[in-house]
Structure 1
Amino acid sequence: MAGGLFALLDDVAALARMAAASVDDVGAAAGRAATKAAGVVVDDTAVTPQYVHGVTADRELPMIRKITVGSLRNKLLIILPVALLLSQFLPGLLTPILMVGGSYLCFEGAEKVWGRLRGHDHHDRPVAEDGADAERALVSGAIRTDLILSAEIMVIALNEVADEAFLSRLVILVVVAIAITVAVYGVVAIIVKLDDIGLALTQRTSTFARTVGHGLVVGTPRLLTVISVVGVAAMLWVGGHIVLNGLHELGWDPLYDLVHHAEEAVHHGVQGWLVNTALSLLFGLLIGLVLIALVGLVSKMFRRSSAH
């Protein structure tokens, strides 16, 4: 009886060790996958604050909360099942789908650039002045943009763990989705509340705390303006990069080779990365402007046809 009990305990201990090893493997694989997607994560962090730029302070965190929930929904309920099914049965469709999403990012980024050049940027005043509908529109826009960036993050992570078993891939991607979403929107929440933190510090008795608080109050609006510009640039960069890589994977290499040769001409490293980024951004802007022109043309044709 005692021997049977000890044998059972040994089996339980062995199963526990196997489970712990599996958890470690999943954690390590999730870490590798998240690291590979780090570039897009930075872009996602830069893009999101622009959607609450000009929003009244009491609505910032509620809007970020809604965007966070939408981001998790994007990753877990839309992107994850679609990516897993496509990678399992129709892997050739992943690239064209990503290219469509990248083109949308180019369109949205170019539209913001065009709107600012024409003086039609509507994010300069609090959204509360335009009502709840404007807030819902901003949240919806942020979630749509997040869908594209999240798809890129998840596909990069999926490629990193493509050799894992299906169940392991599923668990790893769920871990990556939750961890990245919490990290990105946690940072975004801190960024948009820096001015409130600064205001609280100005009420302290410490001279150092008041100085830091004053700096945050003065500097945060400028930081948000800079982040807004970086966010638009990130849309164009990521969108252009997705389309360039997609064309390369589909067998059309001239533009990809042009960027690659330009990057090699200044050697790899930071300079090469800057060249690649700048050319991808420029390509994304051109795609976006072409799409704006096409959308405008189609809209005019519909208006004319409806007028008749």
Structure 2
Amino acid sequence: MKISKLLATAVLMCLAACAVKDDKASKVALHANNDGAPTGEVSSKVLPGGQPGKVNIMGVLVVDDAEKGGKTLKSGISLNLLGGKALDGKVAEVTAKPQDSLGQNQLDSDVEIAAKESSYLNVGCSEDQIDKTYTNGLTAKELGDVKDATSVRMTAKVVFICGNVGLRTISLAIKADKLILDSVNLVNMVAAGAVDVAANSLVLKGQNRIGTMGADAAGEVVDAPVLNVNVIKDVTGDGTLMLTSQGGNVISAVEDAAKSKDTSAEKLQRIHDKNEEAQMKVSAQASAESNSDADADKE
């Protein structure tokens, strides 16, 4: 999905704020994008852009606000809620209050189960990004092909995630005793669903982003998927984490048809690749059998 220059600027500004490490940064950590973009009353003929999904942030990511009272986000953590665009370019005003996303400490039974595992999971990390002090005595766990999966679970005692993680899945769950994020950009874009992240300990390296994004549509745009993030015990590392949720954009019927056509083409290409791979395996097996028969005839 193409992001406008204004939205891109807002994201960069939020990343910059997220990088500030003193507690005073907490007062700018919660942000709903209701400024700097063309908004206003939408006529009955123009469908508004989508709303961000419900965001629930829990555990040690939420701290007491010493200046204003109440709760805010821990230094280095930020939340950015963004509205989608209408067909005329107007950005939807966000109706949710970021403060409502801050929850209380909450245990997670899936995290308790993950803590007892003897495995680690690597999602997109190179060998030098895997800290061996976290993997001693643990065996590597395979995630498998999740490109077309409607439900994805990333669970292990230790989960490493690095770089860009492109997903379009209805349900994504990341559950670990220790979750290590290294320059992650993980945004799930679907019409409905949820992203559920929970760990006892979170380690942050570099600038990280986890979020949800509503799907674009030619008709009425639904809210972005739900985002739940719960860190139960502690956060370490010198990195930052930006949590985002953005509503989908209203697009023209022509654009919608083009997107559907592209999606179909991608599916056809994947089917072609799988068929080609299967044919190569059959050919290789036939060749091996032929060679075996020839050797038997010589004997």
Bigger proportion of residues as helix: 1
Greater RCO, 1 or 2 (C-alpha within 8 Å, sep 6+): 1
Asked if TM exceeds 0.5, the reply is no
TM-score bracket, normalised by the shorter chain, equals under 0.3
**TM-score normalised per structure 2:** 0.25
Which of the two has greater strand per residue?
2
TM-score of the superposed pair, with normalisation by structure 1: 0.25
